[in-house]
Amino acid sequence: MNIIITGASRGFGKAIAELFAANGYDLYLTSRNEVTLYKAMEDLTTRFPEIKIKARAFDLSKREQVNSLGNWLLGLDISIDILVNNAGSFEPGSVYNEPEGTMENMMNTNFYSAYHLTRALVPAMMEQRSGHIFNMCSIASFQAYKNGGAYSISKFALAGFSKNLREEMKPFAVKVTTVYSGAAYTDSWAGSGIEAQRFMKAEDVAQMIFAASQLSARACVEDIILRPQLGDI
């Protein structure tokens, strides 16, 4: 079985890669920075020598690079069993005064990346009549908060996309899961001054995704909502 993970060099993406690797999946990984991506691949290859791991860097905020990623994956001629649209970044701000271009950056990185990559790959899943797409949303996909600004709006868009896709894919036996994660301790939060213990672990999110991927073809986990035990930060 094959899994494609965007934003796989660190954080959630790396934790998801580790868990699926430990369960025998072949990994197809991407993120923006080639050095961190290859470092992650090297680490995974050492720990899981029995699986196949391929990785290539693309900046998914750029449409033409999303196309290149889609072409690379389709050219490998593998069955596309699981796609995790996880790549994303956070720029804090408020609608009324965030710098010009923030909305466009957030939409390109957090929404259009997943939209265009899915459109490139989903016809193959529809044809094989199997597959599972996970879209990494956020509590900020349904709840506005101070300093959320363009990030939160882009994650609302991703959730809207994910819900529509779920409806569309029902007759094609392709599953779609929207993951609404609360705060988990990754590089996104490093330097926030809040102690790591207050957060969920990236591995918690990975475990929920893995569990949802293991159900029979007759069931689809539509939504996963996770929060730190003490609630939102």
Q: Which residues are catalytic?
A: 151
What are the residues binding ligand NAP (CB under 6 A)?
Answer: 7-13, 31-33, 36, 59-61, 86-90, 109, 136, 138, 181, 183-184, 186-189
Q: Which is nearer to ligand NAP, 89 or 130 (CB)?
A: 89
Do residues 78 and 51 make contact, with C-beta atoms less than 8 angstroms apart?
no
Least distance CB 138 / ligand NAP (angstroms):
4
| Residues whose CB is less than 8 angstroms from the CB of residue 172 and which lie 6 or more positions away in sequence, other chains included | 125, 126, 129
Do residues 147 and 165 make contact, with C-beta atoms less than 8 angstroms apart?
no
Q: Which is nearer to ligand NAP, 65 or 128 (CB)?
A: 65
Q: Which is nearer to ligand NAP, 12 or 25 (CB)?
A: 12
Residue with tokens 């993951």: 179
Q: Which two tokens stand for residue 127?
A: 């044809």
Least distance CB 114 / ligand NAP (angstroms):
9
Least distance CB 141 / ligand NAP (angstroms):
8
Q: Rounded to an integer, what distance in angstroms lies between the CA atom of residue 233 and that of residue 230?
A: 8
Q: Rounded to an integer, what distance in angstroms lies between the CA atom of residue 105 and that of residue 62?
A: 10
Least distance CB 42 / ligand NAP (angstroms):
14
Q: Which two tokens stand for residue 206?
A: 């990975």
The values of phi and psi at residue 223, to 5°, are -135, 140
Least distance CB 209 / ligand NAP (angstroms):
11
SS3 (DSSP) at 146: coil
Give Cα 57 distance to the centre of its chain.
15
Please list the helix, strand and coil fractions of the chain in percent, rounded to the nearest 5, in that order: 45, 15, 40
Vertex 40: Cα angle to 80 and 215 (nearest 5): 35
Q: Rounded to an integer, what distance in angstroms lies between the CA atom of residue 13 and that of residue 186?
A: 10
